[in-house]
């Protein structure tokens, strides 16, 4: 089955208004890649509307987090409908920084992913083990629990629009400069895909599984060369548009976007 690759940039709590505008100009000047790829940027919520308006139409914009409830007294949080209203079409759920700093449980992540999907957004569910868990040989147990909590949502998304997306982001590789080797990443992706297929026939074959964790222009080709790696969720190397565009070009073999 052919799965369209995804190259996504998670800006986290970085960049100001002028940076977002300059980024959009750089993307527009580069032009669309001449290979099939979904390019998605995840700004902070305050700039979602700006990014959605300013970015060229061959890109999409997504939210870094969505509240699990539809609306109400949740000061500081953002509802899925507001994210859609701001012009976004994707949303992350369960990024490890949300799990770590906001105490989000597997159940919270599943509720957020369900709300995201219900609002018509494409959920990108992040899973990944810590270094301690990997050292204790608990990687598959941890991933199975994280993935198990969202299987129903992933199955519900299957066959509807772009489906849902899984991002394997080992916590020890995020922001450390220590990317997982292509072998480690491919083996985990294979495990996740098998789990998805085990839950529902074909779910693993259709669900796009991204790798995230210190992806850069040097390592992206080796990683995406593996059959089970469908693209990237990129933090640090997505903050500069020329670096992000270079990764798009190298990963897709596209001549566009320099």
Q: Find the shortest distance in angstroms from Cβ 48 to ligand PEP.
A: 17
Structure tokens at 102: 């906001």
Q: Find the shortest distance in angstroms from Cβ 237 to ligand PEP.
A: 6
Collapse the DSSP code of 61 into the 3-class scheme (helix H, G, I; strand E, B; otherwise coil) and give the result. strand
Is 95 noted as a catalytic residue in this protein?
Answer: yes
Rounded Cα distance between 204 and 193, Å, is 4
Q: From 52-60, 69-77, 115-123, 235-243, give the range in contact with ligand PEP by CB under 6 A.
A: 235-243
Structure tokens at 27: 């993307």
Q: Find the shortest distance in angstroms from Cβ 213 to ligand PEP.
A: 5
Interacting residue with ligand PEP among 66, 110, 234, 247 (CB under 6 A): 234
- Measured from the CB atom, is 61 or 203 closer to ligand PEP? 61
Any contact of residue 236 with ligand PEP (CB under 6 A)?
Answer: yes
- Measured from the CB atom, is 207 or 214 closer to ligand PEP? 214
Which residue of the set 67, 95, 97, 129 is catalytic?
95
Q: What angle, 0 to 180 degrees and rounded to 10, lies between the N-to-C axes of helices 17-30 and 241-252?
A: 40
Q: For residue 32, which phi and psi values (nearest 5 degrees)?
A: -70, 145
Q: From 69-77, 112-120, 127-135, 230-238, give the range in contact with ligand PEP by CB under 6 A.
A: 230-238
Interacting residue with ligand PEP among 204, 235, 241, 257 (CB under 6 A): 235
Q: β-pairing, 59-63 with 165-168?
A: unpaired
Contacts with ligand PEP in 208-227 (CB under 6 A)?
A: 212-215
Q: Where are the beta strands (DSSP E) in 143-201?
A: 165-168
Q: What HEC string does 86-144 produce?
A: CCCCEEEECCHHHHHHCCCCHHHHHHHHHHHHHCCCEEEEEECCCHHHHHCCCHHHHHH
Which residue of the set 97, 104, 169, 189 is catalytic?
169
Interacting residue with ligand PEP among 159, 175, 198, 225 (CB under 6 A): 175
Q: Find the shortest distance in angstroms from Cβ 49 to ligand PEP.
A: 22
Is 67 noted as a catalytic residue in this protein?
Answer: no
Q: Find the shortest distance in angstroms from Cβ 12 to ligand PEP.
A: 6
Q: From 13-21, 69-77, 152-160, 233-241, give the range in contact with ligand PEP by CB under 6 A.
A: 233-241
Cβ count near 154 (within 10 Å): 25
Whether residue 176 contacts residue 214, with contact meaning beta carbons closer than 8 Å, is answered with: yes
The length of the chain in residues reads: 258
Q: Sign of the C-alpha dihedral, residues 199, 200, 204, 207?
A: negative
Active site residues: 95, 169
Positions that interact with ligand PEP (CB under 6 A): 10, 169, 174-175, 212-215, 233-237
């Amino acid at each position: 089955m052919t799965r369209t690759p995804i190259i996504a940039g998670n800006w986290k709590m970085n960049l100001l208004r002028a940076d977002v505008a300059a980024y959009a100009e750089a993307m527009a000047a580069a032009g669309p890649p001449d290979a099939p790829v979904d390019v998605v940027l995840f700004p902070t919520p305050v700039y979602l509307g700006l990014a959605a308006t300013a970015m060229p139409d061959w890109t999409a914009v997504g939210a870094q987090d969505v509240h699990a409830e539809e609306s109400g007294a949740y000061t500081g949080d953002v509802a899925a409908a507001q994210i859609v209203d701001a012009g976004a079409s994707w949303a992350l759920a369960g990024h490890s920084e949300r799990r770590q700093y906001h105490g989000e449980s597997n159940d919270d992540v599943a509720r957020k992913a369900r709300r995201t999907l219900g609002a018509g957004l494409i959920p990108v569910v992040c899973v990944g083990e810590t270094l301690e868990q990997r050292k204790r040989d608990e990687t598959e147990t941890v991933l199975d629990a994280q993935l198990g909590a969202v299987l129903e949502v992933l199955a519900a998304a299957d066959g509807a629009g772009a489906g849902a997306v899984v991002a394997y982001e080992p916590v020890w590789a995020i922001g450390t400069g220590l990317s997982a080797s292509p072998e480690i990443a491919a083996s985990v992706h294979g495990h996740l895909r098998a789990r998805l297929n085990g839950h529902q026939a074909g779910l693993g074959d259709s669900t796009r599984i991204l790798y995230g964790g210190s992806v850069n222009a040097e390592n992206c080709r080796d990683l995406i060369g593996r059959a089970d790696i469908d693209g990237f969720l990129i933090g640090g190397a997505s903050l500069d548009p020329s670096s992000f565009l270079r990764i798009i070009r190298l990963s897709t073999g596209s001549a566009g976007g320099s």
